[in-house]
């Protein structure tokens, strides 16, 4: 198998492109006042791990030796050892994956704040269509580049190309990924970093963590009967009066073979190479950590080191020192790590705290430029010396002191954006309930995508209408909610406990202020969740299409300096309150970011004056839809 060369071209004058090795210092360009243009060329291909291409373009199957060496047997029977940097090892097993320009994960895009970015994507997947979503970017005036299939564009057919154009008008840690089916599980993802010279700069490590399977996403979902119309799209099932389960164990339930960190991990305790972070004693480093997985939340910690949280998603926050951070699918965190321990190797640990599985991922922090396995140990969390953790999926747990995400405070860098949501005099409030009463749904509606994008044909013509039975029985339809434009909007996202794991709320087109995170009430005697719907909210039935506060004062929140996010985890049996100012018109998806849940329809579209953006679609934009020939 021939590896593809990497093409990262900048073709316009005054353009600058920054590609960083781990631990290098980013140098901000002088601001000339002109928008800098960056142009990238990508090929999407299926590749196979554990292969080595020699100088003569010969491809060899590499085997992992007991001591961790990688070697292949040549035509003469001689074992040839190869450099791990020349092999995509993943977790040491032979597996196929989707590559961007031959790379897994895809190449990291790094641009300065204000850049204009063009990404030319050629789909060489042979039988698979694809799209690319730029997770966290608001796509102001570029709604056609959001990458949501059948919402903003037609999927890119095999052999076809598509150009994404967007403006880097927010700084921070973002990422990109396929938004079509379960392709994100197969490796179509990468990091997108936007640097602002007004923010502090450090040597950096971008860390992408994902749960990994040895079969592709379509095969996995077919095997377990998931997907639109699959066995999990059940008939109406009422919520029990009491849900006897432990909230602190409810974070995910799908299996994985391993955890990968920047494309490297270990399966079944083998000695496959791991990602290494090289540090110099006394220096401070920024770790940009991204959960790019498909199901598991993970907790990240570094043996012998604390972390100072300075950013979440694309928001700069006041520093807070922690021992670990929990990240749900799609969430990111920026942490500073001071290299102030004994010069040695230390484990960086990635733990999925689920009661039925505990897959572990590791990378290595080294002071000695060594790839040797560390002998370090994790901090023991006790009541006397608890582990301080941010964004726990639980409110309390033995040995933990948990800091909810709403306790973070954004810095003055975001004051102008937050000022937009302070006026509640004309507030518009909306309740959305995640549930499984009739399949994966929001307010009882499982999303059915239309046959043509919203900007091509109105969804009332190309989609499936939501009939009245949706309110009482649940249904599958093209679920669209109209949200008023240029208003302060408060959204309450609830978690019905019918299946026991967290959900995430991800909004396209916006980052929102997280003003409240509420955990479920629990029985103090046995620590079990006491109710399936938090007692602050009442509904006429399980689908909660008419949810309301039991006391109107419960919905009144103080907007101080809340953190801004585009993805937030919703505790099992709890809810979150987020706020936006709707000044970015368009048709924007909002959904759970667990791959299974999104794939099965736990999603909706927010219509924020979407029709007003039809004239912004470029001339000649690709169209698609049904073709029917009548006799």
What does the pLDDT look like over 22-42, one tens digit per residue?
333 333 333 435 679 999 999
Nearest to 214 by CA among 120, 115, 325, 95: 95
pLDDT computed for residue 28 by the predictor? 34
Per DSSP, the residues of 414-468 read GHHHHHTT---TT-EEEEEEEE-BTBSEETTEEE---SS-TTTS-HHHHS----G
- The per-residue pLDDT for range 619-628, each reduced to its tens digit, is 999 999 988 8
Query: Cα 100 to chain center, whole Å?
Result: 18
Pairwise pLDDT comparison (516 vs 501), residue with the higher score: 516
Could you give the CA distance from residue 287 to residue 338 in angstroms, rounded to a whole number?
11
Helix, strand or coil for residue 252? coil
Q: For strands 63-64 and 133-135, give the pairing.
A: unpaired
**Sorting pLDDT into bands at 50, 70 and 90, what band is 513?**
very high
pTM for this predicted structure: 0.90
Joined tokens for residue 56 = 């003569």
Q: What is the set of domains in the chain, with CATH numbers? A: 37-82+93-198 (2.60.40.420), 206-407 (2.60.40.420), 413-616 (2.60.40.420)
- According to DSSP H, which parts of 541-582 are helical? none
Supply the mean pLDDT for the chain: 87
**Sorting pLDDT into bands at 50, 70 and 90, what band is 205?**
very high
Nearest to 454 by CA among 591, 592, 599, 609: 609
Helix, strand or coil for residue 575? strand
Q: If you ran DSSP here, which 8-state letter would residue 526 be given? A: T
Q: How many CB atoms lie within 10 A of CB 432?
A: 20
Could you give the CA distance from residue 604 to residue 481 in angstroms, rounded to a whole number?
8
Q: What is the mean pLDDT of residues 514-530?
A: 79
Bridge partners of 90, per DSSP, are 264
Could you give the CA distance from residue 463 to residue 477 in angstroms, rounded to a whole number?
7
Burial class (CB in 10 A: 0-12, 13-18, 19+), 21: exposed
């Amino acid at each position: 198998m021939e590896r593809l060369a990497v093409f990262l071209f900048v073709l316009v004058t005054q353009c600058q492109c920054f590609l960083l090795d781990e631990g290098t210092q980013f140098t901000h360009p002088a601001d000339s006042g002109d928008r800098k243009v960056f142009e990238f060329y990508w090929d999407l291909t299926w590749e196979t791990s554990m292969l080595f291409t020699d100088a003569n373009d010969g491809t060899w199957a590499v085997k992992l030796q007991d001591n961790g060496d990688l070697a292949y047997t040549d035509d003469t029977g001689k074992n040839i050892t190869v450099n791990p940097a020349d092999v995509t090892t993943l977790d040491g097993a032979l597996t196929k994956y989707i590559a961007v320009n031959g790379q897994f994960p895809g190449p990291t895009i790094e641009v300065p704040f204000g850049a204009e970015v063009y990404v030319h994507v050629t789909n060489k997947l042979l039988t698979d269509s694809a799209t690319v979503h730029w997770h966290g970017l608001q796509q102001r005036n570029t709604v056609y580049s959001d990458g949501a299939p059948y919402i903003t564009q037609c999927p890119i057919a095999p052999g076809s190309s598509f150009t994404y154009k967007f403006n880097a008008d927010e700084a921070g840690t973002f990422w990109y990924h396929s938004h079509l089916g379960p392709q994100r599980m197969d490796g179509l993802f990468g990091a997108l970093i936007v640097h602002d010279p007004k923010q502090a700069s450090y040597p950096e490590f971008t860390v992408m963590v994902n749960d990994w399977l040895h079969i592709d996403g379509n095969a996995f979902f077919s095997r377990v009967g998931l997907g639109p119309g699959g066995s999990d799209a059940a008939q109406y099932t009422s919520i029990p009066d009491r849900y006897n389960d432990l909230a602190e164990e409810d974070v995910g339930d799908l299996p994985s073979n391993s955890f990968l960190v920047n494309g490297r991990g270990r399966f079944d305790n083998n000695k496959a190479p791991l990602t290494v972070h090289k540090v110099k004693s006394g220096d401070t480093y920024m770790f940009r950590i991204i959960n790019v997985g498909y199901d598991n939340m993970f907790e990240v910690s570094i043996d012998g080191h604390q972390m100072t949280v300075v950013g979440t998603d694309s928001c700069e926050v006041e520093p807070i020192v922690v021992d670990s951070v929990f990240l749900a699918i799609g969430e990111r965190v920026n942490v500073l790590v001071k290299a102030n321990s004994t010069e040695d190797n230390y484990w960086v640990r990635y733990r999925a705290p689920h009661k039925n599985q505990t897959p572990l991922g590791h990378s290595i922090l080294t002071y000695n430029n060594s790839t040797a396995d560390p002998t370090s140990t994790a901090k023991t969390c006790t009541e006397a010396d608890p582990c301080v953790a941010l964004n726990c999926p639980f409110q309390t747990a033995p040995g933990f002191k948990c800091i909810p995400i709403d306790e973070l405070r954004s810095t003055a860098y975001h004051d102008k954006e937050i000022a937009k949501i302070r006026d509640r005099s004309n507030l518009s409030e909306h309740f959305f309930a995640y549930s499984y009463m009739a399949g994966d749904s929001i307010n009882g509606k499982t999303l059915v995508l239309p046959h043509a994008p919203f900007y091509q044909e109105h969804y009332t013509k190309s989609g499936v209408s939501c009939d009245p039975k949706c309110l009482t029985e649940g249904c599958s339809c093209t679920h669209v909610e109209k949200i008023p434009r240029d208003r302060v909007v408060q959204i309450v996202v609830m978690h019905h406990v019918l299946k026991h794991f967290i959900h995430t709320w991800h909004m396209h087109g916006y980052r929102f202020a997280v003003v409240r995170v509420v955990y479920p009430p629990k029985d103090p005697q046995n620590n079990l969740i006491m109710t399936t719907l938090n007692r602050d909210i009442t509904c006429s039935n399980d689908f909660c299409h008419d949810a309301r506060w039991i006391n109107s004062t419960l919905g009144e929140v103080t907007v101080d300096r809340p953190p801004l996010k585009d993805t937030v985890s919703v505790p099992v049996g709890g809810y979150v309150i987020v706020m936006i100012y709707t000044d970015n018109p368009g048709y924007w998806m909002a959904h759970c970011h667990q791959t299974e849940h999104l794939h099965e329809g736990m999603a909706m579209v927010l219509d924020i004056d979407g029709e007003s953006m039809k004239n912004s679609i470029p001339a000649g934009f690709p169209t698609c839809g049904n073709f029917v020939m009548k006799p």
